[in-house]
Amino acid sequence: MDEMKKLVAKEALKFVEDGMVVGLGTGSTTAHFIRLLGKLVMEEELEIYGIPTSYQAKFLAIESGIPVVSLDEVDAIDIAVDGADEVDPNLNLIKGRGAALTMEKIIDYRAGTFIVLVDESKLVDYLGQKMPVPIEVIPSAWRVIAEEIEVFNATAELRMGIKKDGPIVTDNGNFILDAKFERIEDPLDMEIELNNIPGVVENGIFADIADVVLVGTKEGVKKMER
Ligand SMILES: O=C[C@H](O)[C@H](O)[C@H](O)COP(=O)(O)O
């Protein structure tokens, strides 16, 4: 599995050109990309700037020698490279297992080209098939938001910490609800519906924004495009 992740991360380097501003995604697959990008920047003395989507991406970029910039400092993001938890045949995504979905969506959405890196286990027939939709919420409103989500025939659970007692707290200081749907028929519609609930900061459905998905398979890298 890790080999497949490395393979797609290497393939994604082909989209990088000197002078680019690159959105740096979160998660184990993008971590390979960030390390490889750092190596490329050093070896070829490229002028690349990275915009991280989380503390994880930021720390790794710094460690890998990629100059880091913020949204305030750039006019445009050329490409963004990020992972995903589910990818449907129309390139709609579920993201946010790492709780970084809000910053990821801001950066991935703004990028000229949004490239997604996954292994083949992430491909599904429809969104919601395997994974819940992570939803970042204002902490004091989590319970009422969970009730609102259940109107859509989903069950919502407050995500608890592993090396922390109580709920996890995102990079933005919020909570995460994991909403398990039977099946998401219309990803774009559900993405909008969830964001309409007062107190929801952002949700992990990324409908209609991925341009390219690189899939690591046992036979090599497969490319899906919109
Ligand atoms: O918040 C986390 C992100 O959306 C990740 O990009 C996603 O969960 C995929 O992570 P991984 O590459 O580790 O499977």
Amino acid making up residue 83:
G
Q: Is the CB of 35 under 6 A from ligand 1?
A: no
pLDDT of residue 1: 81
Give residue 53 CA to ligand 1 midpoint distance, Å: 11
pLDDT of residue 11: 98
> Can you give the CATH number for the domain in which 148 is found?
3.30.70.260
For residue 170, give both structure tokens.
């995102």
Measured CA to CA in angstroms, residue 107 lies from 8, 103, 209 at distances of 20, 6, 11
Give residue 98 CA to ligand 1 midpoint distance, Å: 6
Q: Which of 97, 107, 120 to mutate to test the pocket of ligand 1 (most atoms within 8 A of CB)?
A: 97
Structural domain boundaries enclosing 27: 2-123+207-225
| Catalytic residue from among 11, 86, 104, 202 | 104
Query: Which of 179, 184, 168 lies closest to 145 in space, CA to CA?
Result: 179
Position 52 in a domain = yes
79 & 161 share domain: no
Mean pLDDT, to the nearest integer, of 128-151?
98
Nearest CA owner, ligand 1 atom 2: 98
Measured CA to CA in angstroms, residue 74 lies from 18, 70, 104, 115, 129 at distances of 16, 7, 16, 19, 37
103 & 142 share domain: no
69 & 9 share domain: yes
Q: Is the CB of 25 under 6 A from ligand 1?
A: yes
Position 189 in a domain = yes
pLDDT in tens, 12-65: 999 999 999 999 999 999 999 999 999 999 999 999 999 999 999 999 999 999
Q: Provide the number of structural domains found in the chain.
A: 2
Mean pLDDT (the chain, rounded): 97
- 193 assigned to active site: no
Is 161 annotated as contributing to ligand binding?
Answer: no
Dihedral in degrees, nearest 10, Cα atoms 86, 162, 33, 66: 140
